[in-house]
Amino acid sequence: MKYINAKIDDMPVSVLEGKTIMQAADSIGMHVPRLCFHPFLSTEGACRICIVEVDGYRNYLPACSTMLQEGMVVKTNSPEIRKARRDLIELLLDNHPKECQLCERDGNCELQNLAYKLGVRERLFEGERKRYKIEDSSASVVRDAEKCILCARCIRVCSEIQGVTNLSQIYRGFNARVTPAFEANMDDSVCIQCGQCINVCPTAAFTEQNMTEEVWEAINDPKKFVVVQTAPAIRAAIGEGFDMPIGTNAEGKTVFALRRLGFDAVFDTNFAADLTIMEEATEFLQRLKKNKDLPIITSCSPGWINFLEHFYPELIPHASTCRSPMSMLSVLLKTYYPEKNNIKPEDIYVVSVMPCVAKKFEAKRPEHYSEKGYPYTDAVITTRELIWMIKAYGIDFVNLPDDDFDKPLGESTGAGDIFGTTGGVMEATLRTAAEKLTGKKQNKLDFYEVRAIEGLKEASIEINGLTLNVAVANGLQNAKKILEKVKLGNMQYHIIEIMACPGGCVAGGGQPLTEAGKYLYPMDWEMIRKRQQALYGIDTAKKIRKSHENPYVLKLYEEFLGEPGSKLAHELLHTSYQERLPRGIK
Amino acid sequence: MTGIIYKPLDQDILDFIKECTQLEHPESYLIAVLHKIQERYTYLSESHMDQVAHLLNVPAANVFGVATFYHFFRLKPKGKYAISVCMGTACFVKGADMVLEQFRTELGIDIGETTLDGLFSIEQTRCIGVCALAPVVTINDRVYSKVTSSRVKEIIQIIRTEEKTKA
């Protein structure tokens, strides 16, 4: 290993060969201002905010993409550099709408933060600025090209992390903009609606399709019985919106806040996660018995399902036909629940709080509409949207007491809780499948083999002399690797869990935005790990940790559904997929 | 994208793409392939770009990014009469910009566009090396010298009349 010795701001620095000036400066506590840079994506060098002065070079060099060399003398903060940086920000602002107060990223915008930090207090370059219409064709992702600063983070995340490559920069100079191929609407593109572009965008060029107004309206409509369900990953991240430490479990406070907002009943998607395991494990065992359509691939992540339908239609038979937990619960909330409580299903308004923007798309799929033509899920809001609602209502979230979900559709086991993290659905499936396969109670509850933090994890698990080959993938670029192997067929997998977002739902496209100003970027593994730990903590603290032991799920089968995999269960809890837009490239 | 009308590529172009895919880094032949297509069809249609994406295994978004980045590539078909106004230094100082402007007004189209009847398209070009004749306009292979904006109307009129008599 070779060390490089150099000087940054008169301080001696010694770092391993192959580090950039930015990395070297970071190591001695000099945080060079940056904008297009993202630690988990390739280096772009587009914004030039991180320029530094290096002795012997006539031009300023970008710290993010210049390697530190032996003997370099670097200045990060000369008066000229500071002025040049400020000019660069001013030029970006000149081409940017002046509507910070009306913007959804106000207070959490990297451009705004930088302008403030670098001391931009006046606009010196006033000229023509780009004008584009807001593109809101998609159910999930809204694109506002006027707010785009061409940092290309969205382009990079879409291709490098998700393997979709829906976006690219088109035209050049003043006319340059980011769009899908052929300037198609997001709706007509190969976009899988995962929302990772929203998470990495430094401004508000990408945002979710906001549904809060519809939800307020429903709550205030006396004729409607408004129920809400929250996904497993919400409780692990919502606290961040109120400056609570990352990884705080805020389940009880969330329930309390939702009741205060005026929801008539508060349920837990985790209940349906347990139900999903019942159905999915049954489906798996049937396929195993017939040795047909193996591996079974999980179907909870709507971003992944979109990816499957766009790019791997030939693998559709492998996907579990189970609806996602959200849709399962919504179906029950408009069938079983009204029947038991003497309410007209049409009067029930189901709101889902999800860590995901693709769920907004899922809820609008015709498969998730009743025969009478009403949707099972009326509105999907993200964790971010719920945080706004709570703040707008003036609720002091941090100091709320804890409250419990309504029964019976609010009770879950530890297996349901861990659905929100990568590896969680797999672990929950294994807990149930192991007992169903052996017919005996198993003591093993923690399947550390599948608790992945990395993007792809494979394991072989022995159950009763049978070896189950399983794989867990998060981030679709990782999923592709495993899907290609399935296509080749030289390795027999039994169960594959795929979640579209890196880290699983805990880092979904609808989760609170980490503040890059605090040097924390979306996809930060430490942040994801803390959120995961919150879920594993809930799981470990539960008495019942296997889905098939959830008494309320068992009662539901007894009273209403019959058996797992029954005809009614299939009608209500399962769905189908189809090849869609088979264009673009894998 | 759903509205794209499928237009198959000619066999020899398909063969060329296939050859490229057998070489190292097939994606690096993208520009060469686009050149060939534009040479044949006068422009790059969405259908053709989409086929290139599939065949070369390059995301359609990237193909479109490249096609729009380079001024050379056209996204609309050329007119039967491709008007090309020289904007080189000599032509420019002698009023080529006013000539270009006149063509745009007369035909109601912008640079890179084609009239609805498919007859005319306008492009601007850099010096074509006949500065003595500035300002110069070429229409297909015909060279028009010392063009003034007042002559533009007449030039178009003559071509239109020729077309009518042919028909």
DSSP A207-221: EE---HHHHHHHHT-
Answer yes or no: is pLDDT of A167 > 70: yes
The domain boundary, picked from B22, B45, B69, lies at: B69
Contact between chains at B59 and A189 (C-beta distance less than 8 A): no
The amino acid that residue A494 corresponds to is H
- Mutate one of A168, A177, A187 to test the B interface: name it (highest B CB count within 10 A): A168
B152 domain-assigned: yes
Q: For residue range A78-115, what is the model confidence (pLDDT) as tens digits? A: 999 999 999 999 999 999 998 999 999 998 899 999 99
Give the pLDDT score at A517: 55
Answer yes or no: is pLDDT of B31 > 70: yes
Residues of A in contact with B69 (CB under 8 A): 169-172
Average pLDDT over residues A474-494: 92
Q: For residue range A485-532, what is the model confidence (pLDDT) as tens digits? A: 999 988 889 999 999 999 999 999 999 987 655 656 778 888 999 999
Nearest CA in chain A to B44: A182
CB-based contact A16:A3 (threshold 8 Å):
yes
Query: What is d(CA A237, CA A387) in angstroms, rounded to the nearest whole number?
Result: 10
Distance of CA A526 to the CA centre of its chain: 16
How close A524 comes to chain B (CA, Å)?
Answer: 27
Tokens of A188: 């007509």
Give the pLDDT score at B1: 42
Answer yes or no: is pLDDT of A584 > 60: no
CB-based contact A347:A224 (threshold 8 Å):
yes
Contact between chains at B1 and A184 (C-beta distance less than 8 A): yes
**Residues of A annotated as part of the active site:** 280, 283, 300, 320, 359, 362, 367, 505
Instruction: Enumerate residues 6+ apart whose C-beta is below 8 A from A544.
Output: A413, A414, A550, A551
Contact between chains at B59 and A165 (C-beta distance less than 8 A): yes
Answer yes or no: is pLDDT of A145 > 70: yes
Tell which residue, A80, A15, A18, A12, has the closest CA to residue A51: A80
CB-based contact A575:A323 (threshold 8 Å):
yes
Contact between chains at A166 and B61 (C-beta distance less than 8 A): yes
B6 domain-assigned: no
Domain that holds residue B139: 81-166
Please check whether residues B50 and B15 belong to one and the same domain: yes
Least confident of A187-196, A374-383, B4-13: B4-13
Contact between chains at B59 and A584 (C-beta distance less than 8 A): yes
Give the pLDDT score at A585: 45
> How buried is residue B69: exposed, middle or buried, by Cβ count under 10 Å (0-12/13-18/19+)?
middle
Please check whether residues B98 and B159 belong to one and the same domain: yes
Residues of A in contact with B68 (CB under 8 A): 170-172
Give the pLDDT score at A454: 81
Tell which residue, A427, A447, A446, A430, has the closest CA to residue A438: A430
B161 domain-assigned: yes
Give the pLDDT score at A582: 55
Please check whether residues B85 and B32 belong to one and the same domain: no
B51 domain-assigned: yes
The structural domains of chain A, ordered by start, are: 3-77 (3.10.20.740), 141-212 (3.30.70.20), 213-573 (3.40.50.1780)
B111 domain-assigned: yes
Instruction: Enumerate residues 6+ apart whose C-beta is below 8 A from A346.
Output: A372, A374
Query: What is d(CA A459, CA B24) in angstroms, rounded to the nearest whole number?
Result: 35
Please check whether residues B91 and B65 belong to one and the same domain: no
Residues of B in contact with A166 (CB under 8 A): 59, 61
Query: What is d(CA B116, CA A444) in angstroms, rounded to the nearest whole number?
Result: 73
Contact between chains at A181 and B60 (C-beta distance less than 8 A): yes
Average pLDDT over residues A341-347: 93
The domain boundary, picked from B69, B89, B111, lies at: B69
Any idea which residue has 């609309």 for tokens?
B76
Q: What per-residue string of b and e applies to B39-55 under the rule 16 or more CB within 10 Å gives b?
A: eebbbbbbebbbbbbbb
Q: What is chain A's mean pLDDT, rounded? A: 93
The total number of structural domains that make up chain B: 2
Any idea which residue has 């594993």 for tokens?
A536
Please check whether residues B37 and B101 belong to one and the same domain: no
Query: What is d(CA A328, CA A547) in angstroms, rounded to the nearest whole number?
Result: 15
Tell which residue, A218, A517, A521, has the closest CA to residue A389: A218
Please check whether residues B102 and B159 belong to one and the same domain: yes
How close A543 comes to chain B (CA, Å)?
Answer: 49
Average pLDDT over residues A35-62: 94
Q: What is the pTM for the complete model shown?
A: 0.91
List the CATH number of the domain containing B135: 3.40.30.10
Beta strand B142-144 with A456-463: parallel, antiparallel or unpaired? unpaired
Give the pLDDT score at B3: 59
B138 domain-assigned: yes
Query: What is d(CA A353, CA A358) in angstroms, rounded to the nearest whole number?
Result: 12
Give the pLDDT score at A586: 39
Q: Which of B1, B54, B64 has its CB closest to that of A168?
A: B64
Query: What is d(CA A279, CA A294) in angstroms, rounded to the nearest whole number?
Result: 16
Please check whether residues B85 and B58 belong to one and the same domain: no
Least confident of A222-226, A578-582, B163-167: A578-582
Q: For residue range A211-238, what is the model confidence (pLDDT) as tens digits? A: 999 999 999 999 999 999 999 999 999 9
Please check whether residues B91 and B160 belong to one and the same domain: yes
Q: For residue range A236-280, what is the model confidence (pLDDT) as tens digits? A: 999 999 999 999 999 999 999 999 999 999 999 999 999 999 999
Please check whether residues B88 and B18 belong to one and the same domain: no
Give the pLDDT score at A518: 62
Give the pLDDT score at A463: 85
The domain boundary, picked from B46, B69, B92, lies at: B69
Give the pLDDT score at B76: 87
**Could you give the percent of chain A with pLDDT greater than 70?**
98
Contact between chains at B59 and A585 (C-beta distance less than 8 A): yes
Please check whether residues B159 and B98 belong to one and the same domain: yes
pLDDT confidence tier of residue A125, bands split at 50, 70 and 90: confident
Alpha helices in A376-460 (DSSP H): 383-392, 414-417, 424-438
B55 domain-assigned: yes
Give the pLDDT score at B158: 94
pLDDT confidence tier of residue B83, bands split at 50, 70 and 90: very high
Answer yes or no: is pLDDT of A452 > 80: no
Q: For residue range A371-407, what is the model confidence (pLDDT) as tens digits? A: 999 999 999 999 999 999 999 999 999 999 999 999 8
How close A167 comes to chain B (CA, Å)?
Answer: 6
Give the pLDDT score at A337: 95
Please check whether residues B152 and B85 belong to one and the same domain: yes
Q: Which of B2, B57, B61 has its CB closest to that of A168?
A: B61
B42 domain-assigned: yes
pLDDT confidence tier of residue A583, bands split at 50, 70 and 90: low
Residues of A in contact with B57 (CB under 8 A): 585-586
Please check whether residues B87 and B127 belong to one and the same domain: yes
Answer yes or no: is pLDDT of A171 > 80: yes
**H or E stretch covering A498:** strand A495-499
ipTM: 0.89
Q: For residue range A409-424, what is the model confidence (pLDDT) as tens digits? A: 999 999 999 999 999 9
Residues of A in contact with B46 (CB under 8 A): 182
Average pLDDT over residues B41-60: 93
Average pLDDT over residues A34-59: 94
Alpha helices in A262-315 (DSSP H): 269-290, 302-311
Average pLDDT over residues B121-125: 91
